[in-house]
């Protein structure tokens, strides 16, 4: 079973971008708190997300998040679960309706982002750990009650639908990886 000790080790070994490097210390400090995986822990808590790409690595599956009203990768609260990879898989299935993935349990991306206040909860931070999942884009997708829409986007079209820096960073990572392997 993967737990917070494994996550700390994975963060220490993670080959992060310069941009992500600013998050590492904050992640490690948060993980010292026993409630780091609970959504009630404020000012922030651990979340898990999935960057879902098709087999050709030309498209990503994004959800139009109902509460945030923007296109993002599927993901959500750990709710006490320390296996953040399992959280990412659960959220990917729940938010997209997809069932079959090939997956890499290595961290693909990390981000800390502010979630705005709602009438029932104050603003807070998500310390998001993202994993790369690969799925057949011919599978049937489903829109959950957490989203307005779920859709495959060609990588070169994503910037027309979101300006979220962390989403665009994940596109860049895939594109750079493809370029490196084509040389």
pLDDT at 183 over 60: no
Phi and psi at residue 5, in whole multiples of 5°?
Answer: -65, -45
Tens digits of per-residue pLDDT, 111-129? 999 999 988 899 999 999 9
Per-residue pLDDT at 163: 92
Residue 70: φ, ψ to 5°:
-155, 160
Residue 64 structure tokens: 């139009």
pLDDT in tens, 147-157: 899 999 999 99
pLDDT at 66: 86
pTM for the structure as a whole: 0.94
| Separation of first and last alpha carbons in the chain | 38
Full set of structural domains in the chain with CATH = 4-182 (3.90.79.10)
């Amino acid at each position: 079973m993967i737990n917070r000790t494994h996550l700390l080790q994975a963060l220490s070994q993670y080959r992060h971008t310069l941009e992500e490097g600013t998050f590492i210390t904050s992640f490690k400090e948060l993980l010292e708190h026993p409630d780091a995986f609970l959504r009630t822990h404020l000012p922030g808590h651990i979340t898990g997300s999935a960057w879902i790409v098709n087999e050709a690595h030309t498209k990503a599956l994004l959800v139009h998040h109902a509460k945030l009203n923007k296109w993002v990768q599927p993901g959500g609260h750990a709710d006490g679960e320390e296996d953040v990879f399992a959280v990412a898989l659960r959220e990917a299935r729940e938010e997209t309706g997809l069932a079959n993935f090939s997956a890499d349990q290595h961290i693909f991306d990390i981000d800390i982002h502010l979630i705005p206040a709602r009438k029932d909860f104050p603003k807070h931070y998500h310390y998001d750990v993202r994993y790369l999942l690969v799925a057949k884009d011919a599978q049937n997708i489903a829109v959950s009650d957490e989203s307005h829409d779920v859709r495959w986007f060609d990588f070169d079209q994503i910037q027309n639908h979101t300006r979220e820096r962390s989403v665009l960073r994940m596109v860049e990572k895939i594109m750079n990886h493809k370029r490196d392997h084509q040389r």
